[in-house]
């Protein structure tokens, strides 16, 4: 994984890619030039890294208290991201439900676009936002929908339609 931060909070978070170099390259490509520093990570970044590792091992970690720096993000996305950060571990919403709860009824497609441009996935848990019918929907992070499905599975979330009733009776 890769993380970039400022004194205000996390600016970018990159989910793991095929290898460390590709992850670093993807993170760097999303940062404005001149923002790279070789300074040591602050303690709160070290805690974030440990929490991400624990999350990947299946621990029910919440990232809602991690400070984020969303400078330059428009009001619509700020509202959608703020509501998304309120989703608990294992809790999901559809794009349409998130739009309505963010004060933007009817803008499900735009919510999907906001999720796709989320600068700090996992910290703003866009993987918890699903398409209608409890379908997985898209995911712009490395690994695409398969990564989203793995993250949801870690949290005990089953996506897709429920199994047919007769399946529980062995038919």
Q: Give yes or no: 126 in active site.
A: yes
For residue 1, give the 3-state DSSP assignment.
Answer: coil
The single residue of 126, 129, 130, 154 carrying the catalytic annotation is 126
Q: Report the catalytic residues.
A: 126
């Amino acid at each position: 994984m890769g993380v970039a931060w400022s004194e205000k909070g996390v600016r970018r978070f990159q989910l793991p890619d095929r290898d460390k170099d590709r992850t670093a390259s993807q993170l760097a490509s999303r940062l404005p030039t001149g923002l790279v520093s070789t300074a040591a990570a602050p303690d709160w970044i070290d805690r974030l890294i440990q929490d991400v590792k624990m999350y990947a091992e299946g621990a029910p970690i919440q990232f809602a208290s991690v400070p984020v720096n969303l400078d330059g993000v428009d009001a619509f996305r700020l509202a959608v991201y703020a509501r998304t950060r309120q989703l608990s571990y294992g809790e999901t919403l559809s794009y349409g439900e998130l739009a309505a709860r963010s004060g933007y009824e009817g803008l499900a497609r735009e919510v999907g676009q906001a999720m796709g441009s989320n600068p700090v996935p996992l910290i703003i848990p866009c993987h918890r936002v699903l398409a209608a019918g409890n379908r997985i929907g898209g995911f712009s992070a490395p690994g695409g929908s398969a990564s989203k499905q793995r993250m949801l599975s870690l949290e005990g979330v089953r996506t897709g339609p429920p199994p047919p009733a007769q399946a529980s009776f062995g038919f």
